[in-house]
C-alpha cells in the first residue's frame, strides 16, 4: 500500500524559495544602506521579504497533510512579494528615479545573471553593496518579477495537483478502501483466531 501522505518539505530545492531568499538578503541590505533607521518602511519591506520566504517553507512542510494549506501559504508568499514590489517602486517614484523597463539593457543583464547556478545572493553581492539605491532597487524589482513568475507557476501546479489527487481526507479514504480490498492483511502475518 502506498502512503497517503505525499512527499513534502523539500522547499530548499524550490527555485521560488531560492529566489525569495536572495530577495530577502538583498532587501535587508537595501534597507540598511538606503533607508533611515526607524523608518516604518524598513520593517514593512524586511517583513514582506521574510514573509515570502517563510510562507513558501511553511507551505511546503504543511503539504503532507494539507494541500489546501500549501496552496494558501504559497499564495500569501506571492502577495507578500507584490507588497514588496510596490515598496521598491514607491522608493523610485517618490525620488524621481528611473524604473528600468523589462527590456532595458540593465534588466536584461540582471535576467542573464538569474541563469547562474546556484541561485544565491553571492551572484548579486557586488552590485548590491557598491551601486546606488536606484540600481539596487531595480535589481530587486527584476528578482521580484522572476520570483512572481515562479510562484504563479507553482500555484497553478498546486491547483492541478489538488484537482487530480484531492485533499488528505480523500487520500485517507482511498488508502482505507485499498486496505479493506486487500482483506486488511497487506502482507502481515497475523495469526487468525481458531474457529
Pick from 147, 25, 43, 19: nearest CA to 85: 147
Residue 188: pLDDT above 50?
no
Find the Cα–Cα–Cα–Cα dihedral 172, 175, 180, 183, rounded to 10°.
-150
pLDDT by residue (tens digit) across 132-149? 999 999 999 999 999 999
The torsion defined by the Cα of 56, 61, 62 and 64, in degrees rounded to 10, comes to 130
Model-level pTM greater than 0.75?
yes
Residue 16 and residue 12: Cα distance in Å, rounded?
9
Amino acid at each position: 500500500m502506498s502512503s497517503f501522505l505525499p512527499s513534502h518539505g523539500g522547499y530548499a530545492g524550490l527555485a521560488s524559495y531560492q529566489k525569495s531568499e536572495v530577495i530577502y538578503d538583498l532587501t535587508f541590505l537595501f534597507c540598511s544602506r538606503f533607508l533611515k533607521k526607524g523608518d516604518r518602511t524598513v520593517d514593512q519591506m524586511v517583513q514582506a521579504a521574510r514573509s515570502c520566504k517563510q510562507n513558501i517553507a511553511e507551505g511546503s512542510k504543511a503539504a503532507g497533510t494539507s494541500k489546501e494549506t500549501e496552496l494558501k501559504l504559497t499564495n500569501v508568499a506571492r502577495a507578500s512579494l507584490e507588497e514588496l514590489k510596490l515598496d521598491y517602486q514607491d522608493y523610485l517614484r517618490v525620488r524621481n528615479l528611473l524604473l528600468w523597463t523589462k527590456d532595458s539593457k540593465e534588466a536584461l543583464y540582471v535576467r542573464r545573471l538569474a541563469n547562474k547556478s546556484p541561485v544565491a545572493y553571492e551572484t548579486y553581492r557586488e552590485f548590491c553593496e557598491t551601486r546606488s539605491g536606484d540600481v539596487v532597487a531595480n535589481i530587486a524589482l527584476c528578482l521580484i518579477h522572476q520570483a512572481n513568475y515562479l510562484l504563479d507557476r507553482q500555484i497553478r501546479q498546486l491547483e492541478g495537483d489538488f484537482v487530480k489527487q484531492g485533499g488528505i481526507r480523500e487520500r485517507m479514504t482511498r488508502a482505507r478502501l485499498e486496505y479493506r480490498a486487500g482483506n486488511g492483511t497487506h502482507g502481515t502475518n497475523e495469526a487468525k483466531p481458531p474457529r
